[in-house]
Amino acid sequence: MSFVEYGDTIKDGDTAIVFLGHESMFPVKVQHGTVTQTKYGVIRHSTDLIGKKYGSKVTCSKGGWVFVLHPTPELWTMNLPHRTQILYSTDISIITMMLELKPGSIVCESGTGSGSLSHALIRTVAPTGHLYTVEFHQQRAEKAREEFREHGVEHLVTVTNQDVCKNGFGVSNIADAVFLDIPSPWEAIGHAKSALKAEGGRICSFSPCIEQVQRTCLAMEEYGFTEINTLEILLRVYNVRTISLQIPDLGKAAEDNSSTAFDSSNPSNQGSPCANLQQGTVQFKSGVPLREMVGHTGYLTFATKS
């Protein structure tokens, strides 16, 4: 099992995603002789998981069932253990595009955090690229190394435990892109410039506060970066559902025209939306926004090494 290469069958030691519903899923490490409790009953790894195909429908001990999915960076982002605040797919998608990443790219990242963006970057630059990720906190760095090893991507990433603002990324003039998610990114702009290739490398800084953005932009300008721009991504989700709306009262003339144009006794008109005219409502499919939405997550500042 690898997060960048699809495997057909579930093996001992794999990380799998147990899918109970769109709003309910969790990761599990498959181990011979282990059981996992769900609201639908017990899943026995030896008999229910190992040797089965990913995507299989697994029946639990209480008669309910779940799906077992192959892990992807997107699924991992939704289910990973949070050691820090993380980036979600909305920001990750624009980061990978605006940094112009592709297979074979060399990327530097700080800080590693919970590894949400790291897994997406690794999948994007695989199989010949590499990620150099720096984490200030020793325990988080060790946990990130362990996860990358378990997920079969350790050959594509190098984890370093150090202060990027003081010691940099540990590489020079090789990176195609640099990503910063640290409290004071302006202090690391010089090290980011040193890590980037001689010309044309891209940099992105993620900051939740506009004051951080201002200082970072000044530092980028000071170090000669060009095409400096900041953007914010806001996600608005719509649900497609059947809704009912009242037919407006347009007066007697409109009623006469309506009765002339629509004959309810005609079998071809049965079941159509117009059949509800007599009840004063019409039903149809529509996109309805959620009552609550994720608002501000952070500002993304991009620039190019001149």
Please provide the DSSP assignment of 196-214 as one string.
B-SSS-EEEEEESSHHHHH
- Residue 250 scores a pLDDT above 80: no
- Residue 251 scores a pLDDT above 80: no
- Residue 25 scores a pLDDT above 60: yes
Whole-number average pLDDT of the chain: 91
Q: Which domains are seen in the chain, by residue range? A: 9-71 (3.10.330.20), 75-234+295-305 (3.40.50.150)
For residue 257, list its beta bridge partners: none
Is 129 annotated in a binding site? The answer is no
pLDDT category of residue 265 using cuts at 50, 70 and 90: low
- Residue 90 scores a pLDDT above 80: yes
Is 265 annotated in a binding site? The answer is no
Burial class, 278, CB count within 10 angstroms (exposed 0-12 / middle 13-18 / buried 19+): exposed
Q: In this predicted model, which residue has the larger pLDDT, 206 or 256?
A: 206
Residues 6+ apart with CB under 8 A from 34: 45, 46
- pLDDT number for residue 270: 53
Is 163 annotated in a binding site? The answer is yes
- pLDDT number for residue 118: 98
Pairing of strands 57-59, 65-69: antiparallel
Is 115 annotated in a binding site? The answer is yes
Q: In this predicted model, which residue has the larger pLDDT, 115 or 250?
A: 115
Burial class, 88, CB count within 10 angstroms (exposed 0-12 / middle 13-18 / buried 19+): middle
Is 244 annotated in a binding site? The answer is no
In the chain, pLDDT over 70 holds for what percent of residues? 91
**Cα–Cα distance between 111 and 169 in angstroms, integer?**
10
- Residue 261 scores a pLDDT above 80: no
Residue range 51-56: average pLDDT? 96
- Residue 191 scores a pLDDT above 90: yes
Q: Alpha carbon of 266 to those of 74, 151, 273, 279: distances in Å?
A: 51, 62, 14, 18
Is 263 annotated in a binding site? The answer is no
**Cα–Cα distance between 93 and 117 in angstroms, integer?**
10
**Cα–Cα distance between 79 and 116 in angstroms, integer?**
10
- pLDDT number for residue 269: 54
Q: What is the dihedral of CA 262, 267, 272, 276, to 10 degrees?
A: 60
Least confident interval from 197-211, 225-239, 277-291? 277-291
- Residue 60 scores a pLDDT above 90: yes
- pLDDT number for residue 170: 94
Least confident interval from 50-64, 72-86, 123-137, 264-278? 264-278
Residue range 136-140: average pLDDT? 96
Is 117 annotated in a binding site? The answer is yes
- pLDDT number for residue 306: 87
Residues 6+ apart with CB under 8 A from 200: 304, 305
**Helix spans in 202-251 (H):** 210-222
- pLDDT number for residue 295: 80
Record the tokens describing residue 253, joined without a space. 């003339």
